[in-house]
Structure 1
Amino acid sequence: MNISRLNETSHRRYNPLAGEWVLVSPHRARRPWQGKTEKKEDKSSVQYDPGCYLCPGNERVGGVINPDYKEVYVFDNDFPALLSDEQVSFEDDLFTAKSEKGICRVVCFSPDHGLTLSQMAIDDIKKVVDVWAEQYMMLGAKPGISYVQIFENRGEMMGCSNPHPHGQVWATETVPNEPAKETIMQRQYFEKHGRTLLSDYLTQELKKDERIVIETDHFVVLVPFWAVWPFETMIISKIAIPHLGVMNEEEKVDFAKALGLLTRTYDGLFDVSFPYSAGIHQAPTDGGEYPEWHFHMHFYPPLLRSATVRKFMVGFEMLGNPQRDITPEESTQRLVSVYQSIIK
């Protein structure tokens, strides 16, 4: 069947990376919208905010004073979701609870309060990538740490508690649900084919050229065939790199370039500081061998029709399985159009 037929009728798409399905309903994009609209999140032009807990020299809650940092700044989260010294356990038939120890850190991308990744120079984004790699290797080497999750929540719509451009690193005692599912699916594929799942997937995507948004020397940005969020994308390394720690300098610069181009494309889609949750998925750090793991980064933006109309995951999405209105191919066309305009 030609892919165009899928743009006209409801259907399900399989996500081989997670072993799950998404319902695609292209016709629903035409329904009238009288629901909630969000406030447009304008791009900040303020370089320093005296009331910001993350700006250089300012006092954080608890009395800690930020240094007058000039580049990327990392510190232990003042309100961590994981504690390092708690040990609890409860088990009673169907009632089971276990402690989860770990380390939570904040990564300020820049001392400039209004400078998001999309506005940063490649060299400065590369410094963020360097810190991510350092944190992955440093935290992953600590006893009892099985996974290092690097992520960013950008914008109020995604629950970001502070507008200063920053991300987080959570190092956990166990492998979290999403990378655990991806480990299982990637391992099954690797054991059967002797190649990584994402290597074969990327080869097919490049051949079809229906969902490719950006291609650099070492990375490809695409809208996954199984994308759930309206303008969801994924950055995939062209070769099967298992984690940031083995990237060479050229690959890190190129990854920074892909990050800059993608985030600029997002901002240009609705002329807004585009909200999203994004995170890197890479090999666990529990000491095991993971030849099946292929480095990639997910971007999950909530916006659907405009800067003020978002996609809600409710009802069937919560009780059945995820559903999207516009097809991944239509999303790709719109993102590519913006990308081509920004590189002219």
Structure 2
Amino acid sequence: MAEFDSAEHPHRRYNPLSGEWILVSPHRSKRPWQGQQEKTAAEERPTYDPTCYLCPGNTRANGSVNPAYEGTFVFDNDFAALMPDVPVGSMNVGGLLRAESESGVGRVICFSPRHDLTLPEMTPDEIRGVVDVWIQQYKELGDRPDINYVQIFENKGQAMGASNPHPHGQIWAQRTVPVEPAKETVQQAAYFAEHGRSLLSDYLEIETKEKTRVVVENEHFVVVVPFWAVWPYETLLVPRRHVQDITQLTDAEKDALADILRQLTIRYDNLFEISFPYSAGLHQRPTDGQAHESWHFHMHFFPPLLRSATVRKFMVGYEMLGNPQRDVTPEFAAERLRIQSDVHYKHVND
């Protein structure tokens, strides 16, 4: 019988951050593709849109007027999914029908006053401004006694449900720890207890030796397509130094985070020469007053595009009923991203 080859044969890969498995079927990527593979027309947006409720000086839906901001701008979400003054209550019917009230805060972060820019087209200094706001907001909200987790994230593009093209992210800060960070808390704590080192420190040591899944790196951060990736061009951004949250970053590390965010998102845009959609977010220790030594701050990027600007991956069939599955191997995806230029496709001829 032939020797197992992970580039050719179906296999499962384990995600140590979640404790879950993914099915990888690399042979399926060789099947004929008869769908469309076309570029989309470049979206041209003005630097300022008088109808945009996120642009400087414009009026939002609740009647508030945005200041004439020149950098980043943060405000409480006018339609937040979480509210601070929720009465405490619960229900439990036979242990099967359970519910409990949840309180929290929702905020919006405008990355830039310019309506036409996204992270890959911003300068390193401008992105550093976003990083600084993330840090300030994590600390401010995390210091509140009613907040035990601060989830900072960005949905970029209509494909990921972004309701406004103006460059922005969100914060959902809440009383309980959400499902995904809760899984990572358990997994990282168990690994730390057994090995005395953070899970992601040891994982990064393997990845930086092998290099096959590394997309881009600098002195302080590494971006990889994780061994257990679910989405076609999913990436994981990890600091080389074990820090539990972004408030612990040095000035040099903050600059390096801004730099690597720009390098990664430029590669994303260059892959299909579009403004590449994704959901991305920061995962860091809960703000429940515990030390959480095992936590290792990182960022996840989950893009939906598979073969071209118009072909997306959907979770269907087996993936909804069994477990996630992918055809394109993480090693192949990393190579595709790695070879992209660090000059944005819009500026190649500048």
- TM over 0.5, shorter chain: yes
Partner of 1:8: 8
**Aligned-pair CA distance for 1:44:** 3.7
Q: How far apart in 2 are the matches of 1:301 and 1:152?
A: 11
**Aligned-pair CA distance for 1:62:** 1.5
Partner of 2:92: 91
**Residue type of the alignment partner of 1:80:** A
* Count of aligned pairs between the two proteins: 342
Q: How far apart in 2 are the matches of 1:271 and 1:37?
A: 13
In the TM superposition, what are the counterparts of 1:65-80 in structure 2 within 5 Å?
65-80=65-80
**Aligned-pair CA distance for 1:31:** 3.1
Q: How far apart in 2 are the matches of 1:105 and 1:39?
A: 34
**Residue type of the alignment partner of 2:30:** R
Structure 2 segments unaligned to the other structure (5+ residues): none
**Residue type of the alignment partner of 1:297:** M
Q: How far apart in 2 are the matches of 1:28 and 1:49?
A: 44
Superposition RMSD on alpha carbons, in Å?
Answer: 1.9
Partner of 2:191: 189
In the TM superposition, what are the counterparts of 1:231-310 in structure 2 within 5 Å?
231-310=233-312
Q: Residues 41 and 155 of structure 1 are in contact (CA less than 8 Å); yes or no, is this contact kept in structure 2?
A: no
Question: TM-score scaled to structure 2, two decimals?
Answer: 0.94
Structure 1 segments unaligned to the other structure (5+ residues): none
**Aligned-pair CA distance for 1:42:** 3.3
Q: How far apart in 1 are the matches of 2:23 and 2:203?
A: 20
Q: Secondary structure at the match of 1:23?
A: strand
Q: 1:4 to 1:329 in 2, by over 3 A?
A: farther
Question: TM-score scaled to structure 1, two decimals?
Answer: 0.96
User: Are 1:64 and 2:64 counterparts?
Assistant: yes
User: Are 1:132 and 2:110 counterparts?
Assistant: no
Deviations 1:69-127 (A, max 9, x none): 10000000000000111123211111110011000000000000011000000000000
Partner of 1:330: 332
Q: How far apart in 2 are the matches of 1:252 and 1:37?
A: 38
- Equivalent pairs: percent with the same residue? 58
Q: How far apart in 1 are the matches of 2:86 and 2:179?
A: 21
Q: How far apart in 2 are the matches of 1:314 and 1:38?
A: 23
Q: Residues 110 and 167 of structure 2 are in contact (CA less than 8 Å); yes or no, is this contact kept in structure 1?
A: yes
**Aligned-pair CA distance for 1:40:** 3.3
User: Are 1:107 and 2:109 counterparts?
Assistant: yes
Q: How far apart in 2 are the matches of 1:172 and 1:36?
A: 42
**Aligned-pair CA distance for 1:37:** 8.4
Q: 1:285 to 1:44 in 2, by over 3 A?
A: farther
Partner of 1:119: 121
